[in-house]
Amino acid sequence: MFLDPEATQLRVSQKYDREYYFNTVTRESRWDPPTLSPQLGAKHILAKHRGSRRPSSWREENITRSESEAHDIITGYLNDIEQCDNAEDKDKMFGDIAEKFSDCSSAKRGGDLGRFERGAMQKPFEDAVLALKPGEISKPIKTDSGVHIILRTH
């Protein structure tokens, strides 16, 4: 992460003849200027419903379930995950369920959305991530995309 401006140098790419930012601590390079806002990280499981902004997914071309049914599905996944004895097992089960059942294309990565900055996600989703500590799982969250459970990773 580029959180320390003191550790960031502006360099020029020989290959692209373009300036880039290099963090001397993490050894990361990026084209965009560093940000002082910490990045967030999360995995999620999404159940879309017929009222979702795009009621289709990689799993189903035309999603016809109600919002209530989507909420029940997500609640069932959450109950299954909460039965795990430790954080490692919860994380594994979360990823397994996401891969098989999430209506988001992140399913192929076990629901992992990677890192993102504030403002990149829908507000209810971001608010839920911010309310969690890393390793914690949200209650069901409604967004325009559908109903989610979220596991904060960073």
Which residues are part of the catalytic machinery? 44, 104, 122, 145, 148
- 46 sits in the region (left: phi over 0; alpha: psi -120 to 50; else beta) called beta
Alpha-carbon torsion (91, 37, 118, 26), positive or negative: negative
Place of tokens 């397994």: 96
Rounded distance between C-alpha atoms, residue 93 and residue 84, angstroms: 8
User: Is the distance from CB of 56 to CB of 104 less than 8 angstroms?
Assistant: no
